[in-house]
Amino acid sequence: MTAVIGTASGAAPEIVYDGLTGFLAPVSELAGLLSRATELDRAACRAAAEQRFSATTMVASHIALYQQLLTSQEQRRLSLAGRVPAAGPSPVVESSARDRGRVHGRERPVRNEIPGTGAMNPSASTTDHHVPDTGGLSSDDFWV
């Protein structure tokens, strides 16, 4: 491995062991460190790089990270399982089903229905406005 001479910014401090695998210094001091590069042991630089950055080490590090993430996700899922209500109808769905046909607690006439009669208004046209396909849902399904 080639010795590194650089500034102590970015990822350099995580990669370079100052004095072992290279030198880190402010920009104003970098030129002075060039002559010191010969002081570094190339074999020690290589050994440090292989120990930290070999394919085997990197794969092992990634596997450990993935296992940690999976374990924490499983712990989170189990933690939430204790707080999530059992499966069944949602209170929102139950209340909207109970209040179907009501808006803000008052009866709402069915579209084109003559209020209070249950009869359809023959003069009202369903083509007066566009009604998008909602897959069977109405705004009542979202009232809380």
CA-based radius of gyration for the chain: 35
Confidence (pLDDT) at 4: 87
Q: Running DSSP on this structure, what letter comes out for residue 114?
A: P
Confidence (pLDDT) at 133: 53
Confidence (pLDDT) at 76: 82
Q: What is the pTM of this model?
A: 0.42
User: What distance in Å separates the CA atoms of residue 41 and residue 31, rounded to the nearest whole number?
Assistant: 20
DSSP string, 18-75: BTTTEEE--GGGHHHHGGGGGGS-HHHHHHHHHHHHSHHHHHHHHHHHHHHHHHHHHH
The structure tokens listed for 117 are: 């009669």
The low-confidence residues of the chain, meaning pLDDT below 70, are 1, 82-144
Instruction: Tell me what the pLDDT averaged over the chain comes to.
Output: 74
**What phi and psi, each to the nearest 5 degrees, are found at residue 61?**
-65, -40
Q: Running DSSP on this structure, what letter comes out for residue 144?
A: -
The structure tokens listed for 65 are: 């990270």
Confidence (pLDDT) at 3: 80
Confidence (pLDDT) at 28: 93
Confidence (pLDDT) at 23: 93
Confidence (pLDDT) at 75: 82
pLDDT digits (tens, 9 = 90+) for 15-57: 899 989 999 999 999 999 988 988 899 899 899 988 888 999 9
